[in-house]
Structure 1
Amino acid sequence: MSEPANGYVRRLCLWDAALIVIGGMIGGGIFLNPYIAAQHTSSNAVLLAVWVGAGLLTLVGALCYAELGARRPHAGGSYVYLREAFGPLAGFLFGWTMLLVIYSGSSAAVATIFASYTATVFGLPAAAMQPLTVGALVFVAGINLFGLRLGVQVQNLFTVLKLLAVAVLVVCGLYLAGVGGGYLLQPDPARAHAGFMGAALPVLFAYSGFTYLNNLAGEVRDPQRNLPRALFLGMLGVIVAYALVNVAYLAVLGHAGLAASTAPAADVMQRVAGPYGAKLIALGIAISTLGFCNITLVAGARVLQVMGEDGLFFRSVARLHPRHRTPNVALLLLSGWAIVLAVSGSFGELLDYATFGDWLACAVGVSTLFWYRRRDRGPALFRVPAYPWLPLLFIATVAWVVLKSLHDHPRNTGIGLLIMAAGAPVYLAWNRLFSRREH
């Protein structure tokens, strides 16, 4: 395939792309908050069913994005799909929300988790938290200023190390805990009447991030083949990893113990290997979160670059480095804003806005598939199976999650919607100013 018009170079092989999918999804969620899902389920079997079911639902979304990426194998991902299907305003609103809260807020919050666990490992004082947070964001931005190849090599290392941390956790939980397999069917009497609806929200949060690869589609080799394969293989790897980690938690802590643990990974390793085990998994979590921040910033920078190229953002942001072919101005802008959010201390609420906005954007992105199917009637190298039922299932389920979020957390989700809506007058003002300059 010829190089895309915006000058990106296709350097990512299938292996690189699959690790990006895995690295963009496995952050801190699976190590930190499974206790919330346990609190809303009545037994081990139901809990595992929620994790696997949410993974299969996310796989449906990934398959939809695989077809979208194969149809439009260029940088920009959801922004490009929304702009083409629903017009420039829809694309601008995605980019606006992505810059202000979705990618920047996620990076700021997860960088803070990195700082917390790094301080734990090395026994650093609380005063070191903020410098570590800022340093993490500066580091991941810096390594990507000198070409995608270096950034991907570092990212691959992060992902392999986080998978190693998952493997250590699973082995310790399953083989060193000395618990038989019958525990999987045991109910939790304290939660005999618990529903499982509340468990879906934290579980889906842990599965978010599968769309990041599409933002980098302009740099994937043979994208019409490799992008669908990478999304499928990456998603399967994450589903298996999440299921095994939860089995390990339950083997050591039991359902009631998991529901009471706000740091289940550390508790498992503490029981199995003492303080050294807890420090080892803390180091693994720190590496995992650093890799997530790396992918988030790199993927978001591509969206801003394409927006600048389209005239929907500053033209300077559209520039690529003449040698490295990287959107350095866009990367510095997104990273700088993430640092501002981290320093402001508002990252906790911003993570709520980011999760809500991310899944809403995923559902709207999948809906563009219907437009592409009507418009592009020719053969495609990859098509979502069971169309239109699987895309409709994904959209309907995410719509339920959005409505449930509005009901359970009206303040944070309401603010998230206001941030999105505020992009409309900004778009109109930008268009008016841009038109005057053109004339």
Structure 2
Amino acid sequence: MKRQLTLWDAVMIVMGSMIGSGIFIVSSDMMRQLGSGYWLFTVWILTAVATVSAAICYGELSSMYPRAGGQYAYLKEIFGRMTGFLYGWSLFAVIQTGTIAAVAVAFGKFAGYIFPTLNDAAPIYQQGTFMITWMQVLAIGVILLLTYINTRGLHSGKLVQSIFTAAKIIALVALVFGGIYLMQKSLFTENMDFGWAASQNIDGGGWRSIDGATLLGGIAAAMVGAIFSSVAWENVTFVSAEVRKPERNVVRAMVIGTSLVMLLYLLCNYVYVATLTRDEIAFASNDRVAIAAAEKLLGKQGTVAMAVLVMVSTFGCVNGLVLSGARVFQTMAKDRLFLKQVIPNNSREVPARSLWLQGAWASLLCLSGQYGNLLDMVSFVIVIFYMITVFGVVYQRWKAPKIERPYKTFLYPLPIVIYLLIGILFCGLLIVYKGEYTWPGFILVLVGIPIYYVFNRKADT
């Protein structure tokens, strides 16, 4: 692999992979779950602290193992081949490909807002509850287009990433400061006056006060949305072999990128809370809270501008996910833990076969319509793998203290303790109060165990 990615490119991959459709949507459900501006910001701040803490911890591992595969490589080196494979298997089965599918379909849905004929068109095919719509076809078109662009060379992929990530960052900043400037009446104090008195209104039947187990379940459900909007920053580690001076630039990119994105997320939520009433946030049409805020500020023109912003955001996010994910599957294949056919690079020095396989599976998930449910259910698994990797910093210091570490975790072990505590809180709440979010993820990982032994047996022969 040629080292063609600069620090700027790496930061754009971090930010571009994180900012997709979530920040424009999930705050609606979070407000329905908790009913208070205080609780909304509490969940976002917890997520921000956890995300940046994890990025700081990953920096030490990225400096020790500056190679393609990132988190997969760290887990394999620290805990063995099976742990690495189970992460890579989950990544291919739904974490990476399901996220690609979900964000691409979000692109289609917001395109439908601008071009209503997409919403009104009859399904291309329908059999019972299964259907293929033009929005799904558009989503698949986006996936295949960006897959093709990335097969044309790393320069093409990183150019698209830089342009679209820069565009959506500028647009988000404009939304924040434009919203503050255009706001005629701030509702921030009104929404914060609920304080710690949490309420829930899931079905629109009216707000009811919650505490105890119901409150803890609401926090867990709200955190699923915030965490889903804040993952994928580790994608830059997947392309470490192509980053210049990876032992320094990968950790810088992760910390800079995650910090800036989480700051933008908090500012966006300030605009939502200051512009809209509690009910307007909770029951925005199709959960498009950003569209509701833009309409309040600028009328119909604002909604169109916001829809275009989300399309730009999701397009850039899909590109970042496509660019980085394929490198993991290629690395797994080199370790004889994936299909050997995806090992070769094409004439432009990129893993074209791995890119097309990833694109094909993500497209099938688009057609299945099940990616959204799967992603909700594997948020638990994503955080579990984050926690295992973060713990790996401690374990590796004990297991291999003499390995060179160009970067050591800042304020060690504080970021590790912070992330593990928040991760345990999140996973514990899901296990106790939202079991439907946990067992499907466990099943997904368990399915990977017999598949691992098939690949491992072939590697031994």
Q: Tell whether the structures are fold-level matches, with TM greater than 0.5.
A: yes
Q: Tell me how far 1:396 sits from its aligned partner.
A: 3.1
Given that 1:16 and 1:152 are in contact with CA atoms closer than 8 Å, whether structure 2 keeps it comes out as yes
**Alignment partner, residue 418 of structure 1:** 443
Given that 2:64 and 2:404 are in contact with CA atoms closer than 8 Å, whether structure 1 keeps it comes out as no
> Quick one: which of 397, 402, 409 aligns to 1:373?
397
Letter in 1 for 2:149: I
**Alignment partner, residue 406 of structure 1:** 431
Given that 2:72 and 2:88 are in contact with CA atoms closer than 8 Å, whether structure 1 keeps it comes out as yes
> Quick one: which of 307, 310, 315 aligns to 2:332?
307
Q: Tell me how far 1:267 sits from its aligned partner.
A: 0.5
**Deviates most, 250-259 or 177-186:** 177-186
In the alignment of these two chains, the number of paired residues is: 428
- 1:82 and 2:75 aligned: yes
Give a deviation string over 1:363-421, Cα, whole Å, max 9, x none: 11212212322204355332112323321331232133223233444335312211111
**Deviates most, 41-50 or 51-60:** 41-50
Q: Distance in 1 between the 2:412 and 2:228 partners?
A: 25
The percentage of counterpart residues that share the same residue type is 31
C-alpha distance 411-45 of structure 1, shift in aligned 2 (>3 A) = closer
> Quick one: which of 162, 167, 191 aligns to 2:168?
162
C-alpha distance 332-353 of structure 1, shift in aligned 2 (>3 A) = farther
**Alignment partner, residue 254 of structure 2:** 231
Q: Distance in 1 between the 2:458 and 2:11 partners?
A: 42
> Quick one: which of 98, 104, 107 aligns to 1:105?
98
**Alignment partner, residue 310 of structure 2:** 285
C-alpha distance 414-367 of structure 1, shift in aligned 2 (>3 A) = same
Q: Distance in 2 between the 1:355 and 1:240 partners?
A: 22
**Alignment partner, residue 277 of structure 2:** 254
Q: Distance in 1 between the 2:102 and 2:174 partners?
A: 25
SS at match of 2:50: helix
Question: Which TM-score applies when normalising by structure 1?
Answer: 0.92
SS at match of 1:312: coil
**Deviates most, 413-422 or 57-66:** 413-422
> Quick one: which of 200, 219, 227 aligns to 1:204?
227
> Quick one: which of 40, 53, 68 aligns to 2:46?
53
Q: Distance in 2 between the 1:119 and 1:181 partners?
A: 30
Letter in 1 for 2:31: A
SS at match of 1:320: coil
**Alignment partner, residue 122 of structure 1:** 115
Q: Distance in 2 between the 1:182 and 1:123 partners?
A: 33
Letter in 2 for 1:250: V
SS at match of 1:125: helix
**Deviates most, 143-152 or 179-188:** 179-188
- 1:383 and 2:408 aligned: yes
Q: Distance in 2 between the 1:353 and 1:333 partners?
A: 23
Aligned ranges for residues 144-155 of structure 1 at < 5 Å? 144-155=150-161
Letter in 2 for 1:370: V
Q: Distance in 2 between the 1:205 and 1:130 partners?
A: 21
SS at match of 1:124: helix
Q: Please tell me the root mean square deviation across aligned C-alpha atoms, in Å.
A: 2.1
Given that 1:105 and 1:354 are in contact with CA atoms closer than 8 Å, whether structure 2 keeps it comes out as no
Q: Distance in 1 between the 2:257 and 2:159 partners?
A: 17
Q: Tell me how far 1:130 sits from its aligned partner.
A: 1.9
**Deviates most, 175-184 or 137-146:** 175-184
Give a deviation string over 1:268-323, Cα, whole Å, max 9, x none: 111221222111111111121122211222221111111111111122211112x3
Give a deviation string over 1:99-120, Cα, whole Å, max 9, x none: 1111111111111111111122
Question: Which TM-score applies when normalising by structure 2?
Answer: 0.87
Letter in 2 for 1:133: A
Given that 2:15 and 2:261 are in contact with CA atoms closer than 8 Å, whether structure 1 keeps it comes out as yes
Structure 1 residues without counterparts, runs of 5 or longer = 1-7
C-alpha distance 89-128 of structure 1, shift in aligned 2 (>3 A) = same
**Alignment partner, residue 124 of structure 2:** none
Q: Tell me how far 1:228 sits from its aligned partner.
A: 1.5
Q: Distance in 2 between the 1:71 and 1:280 partners?
A: 44
Aligned ranges for residues 279-358 of structure 1 at < 5 Å? 279-321=304-346, 323-358=347-382
Q: Distance in 1 between the 2:373 and 2:187 partners?
A: 39
Q: Tell me how far 1:71 sits from its aligned partner.
A: 1.1
Q: Distance in 2 between the 1:338 and 1:185 partners?
A: 39
